[in-house]
Amino acid sequence: MHMPNTAPVERKARNAVIVSSSPPNTEPSNALHRHRPSSRTTATAKPASGSCPVMRTTVERAGATRKHYCALVTFGTANGGAQPHDRVALPRPGVGQDGSMRAVCVIGLGLIGGSVLRAATAAGRPAWGATAGADDAAGARGDGYQVDSTEEALRRAAEQDALVVVATPLTSVRAVLREVAWHAPEARLTDVVSVKDPVDAEVRGLLPGARYAGGHPMAGTASSGWAAGSAELFRGAPWAVVVEEGTSLEAWRDAAELALDCGAHVVATSAAEHDDAVARISHLPHVFANVLAAVGADGGPLALSLAAGSFRDATRVAASDPELVRAMTEGNRVALLDAVDDALGRLGAARGSLASTGALKTTVDAGFAARGELERVSDPERTSQEVALRGDRDLRRLRELGARGGRITALGEGSATVELPAS
């Protein structure tokens, strides 16, 4: 019987110590199955004339059969056949074994996961999902999308070599990854969770054989659940796709091509750099929105009756589901603390200047200039360059360009089109 790797994890995420020293809970929270049938693996080798043996492995589990293919390598001949150990071209990332677009399996069908399922389907990909939320499942089925149990969805993903997308809150990620480890331990895998370092550490511990690259689409609304989603949610939005030391080009392309198919542009970054960045431009604004909303409410009915555009814009995300906001912000605690300290230092300086001289020039001028820099980086007038993608090392170049504000708008057979802010 195959069991997920349960060795203690050596790597520590910045925001949590990830240790798994006991067997994973194979009883999912929604009690999808009470008994795990035994698995058996049989392998037969059949020599082929003028070739090395071809091994086909069949894994039978709970009545389902999954076939792992391997390439046939022909020995060199007078006719110029391939040499032993030659690399054989496997299906390109984003393309299934039969030449069709790679299938997508989305676990979690809330705002983001539901939008991924819609967008992937609209792009022409075979796609299905699973969710623990009864309302989300009913809504997705009612809209004509296929929703399976988590067990069945992952088994199907393993059979079709689909890309599995984890789209749950951070607090649910470990349980989902244990399910993936049981049903599809070598899956193509990405996620859309808003914090990357803890997820990366979990995947390394629970799914060492997975072909994983983390992701995070920078899009959303104050509403949540399947009903709030849209196939157009990611249109024109940035979508971070993580490059770490162990990230393979194949896995990274899987995640990046999904993002492009959903209408986003891709920003290559490391997990730590991503978490530091989103602490400042996403998680801190959530904290401030809640603080501003509370300060405004303390002014009583008169203050709220006078609230207009600036107050409503600044507090919009305070209407988000509190549990989701807590999972996001608390999960990025270390980076968020740095951002909060920076903000408090600036507020302290503003208060000191206002109290002593009655002036806020330094604070206002700094904010005005920073907003101008945001407009510059977001300007559609950008320079474009092609970056070769021949192997895993080339991902580092994409990450360097991402740190300079570069965004990937297209992927070719062996290159990426990167747009950079104009000087």
Task: Express each pLDDT in 203-214 by its tens digit.
Answer: 999 999 999 999
User: Is the model's pLDDT at 322 over the cut of 60?
Assistant: yes
pLDDT per residue as tens digits for the range 92-130 = 456 665 557 999 999 999 999 999 999 999 999 999 999
C-alpha dihedral, 33 to 41 to 102 to 414, nearest 10° = 140
The predicted pLDDT at position 222 comes to 81
**What is the DSSP secondary structure assignment for residue 172, as one 8-state letter?**
G
List strand residue ranges (DSSP E) for 73-167, in order.
104-107, 127-130, 163-166
Answer whether residue 73 shows pLDDT above 60. Answer: no
Look-up of token digits 């996001």: 328
Are the beta carbons of 276 and 416 closer than 8 angstroms? Answer: no
pLDDT at site 146: 97
pLDDT of residue 77: 31
Residues 420 and 384: their CA atoms lie apart, in Å, by 6
According to DSSP, residue 281 is labeled: I
Q: Taking all residues of the chain, what is their mean pLDDT, rounded to a whole number? A: 82
- pLDDT over 50 (residue 28): no
pLDDT digits (tens, 9 = 90+) for 246-264: 899 999 999 999 999 999 9
Classify strands 238-242 and 215-217 as parallel, antiparallel or unpaired. Answer: antiparallel
Rounded Cα distance between 117 and 181, Å, is 22
Task: Classify residue 318: in a domain, yes or no.
Answer: yes
Domain annotation covers residue 281: yes
Q: Do 90 and 68 meet the contact criterion of CB atoms below 8 Å apart? A: no
Helix axes 271-278, 197-206, angle to 10 degrees: 150
Question: How many structural domains are present in the chain?
Answer: 2
In angstroms, rounded to a whole number, what is the distance separating the alpha carbons of residues 20 and 343? 36
pLDDT of residue 174: 97
Q: What are the φ/ψ torsions at residue 43 (nearest 5 degrees)?
A: -135, 135
Same domain, 280 and 355: yes
| pTM across the whole model | 0.76
- Which H or E run contains 265? strand 265-269
- In the predicted structure, residue 32 carries a pLDDT above the cut 70: no
In a domain, 239, yes or no: no
- Read off the CATH number of the domain in which 305 is found: 1.10.3660.10
Q: Which of 338, 359, 380 is the last residue of a domain?
A: 359
The whole-number pLDDT of residue 193 equals 96
Rounded-to-integer distance, Cα 250 and Cα 186, Å: 13
**Cα 22–chain centre separation:** 27
Nearest to 260 by CA among 99, 116, 404, 108: 116
- pLDDT tens digits, residue range 349-361? 999 999 999 999 9
CA 201 → CA 91, 346, 393, 395, distances in Å?
28, 33, 21, 20
**Final residue before a domain boundary, out of 359, 375, 403:** 359
Which residues lie closer than 8 Å to 115 by C-beta, 6 or more apart?
A: 219, 229, 230, 231, 233, 234, 262
Angle 375-377-383 from CA coordinates, rounded to 5°: 130
Q: What is the pLDDT of residue 99?
A: 58
Residue 46 included in any domain:
no
Average pLDDT over residues 394-414: 95
Alpha carbon distance 199, 207 (integer Å): 11
Residues 352 and 367 in one domain: no
Model confidence pLDDT, tens digit, residues 325-357:
999 999 999 999 999 999 999 999 999 999 999
Per the listing, tokens 């392309």 go with 253
Domain boundaries, position 344: 276-359
Final residue before a domain boundary, out of 359, 382, 409: 359
Share of the chain above pLDDT 90, in %: 71
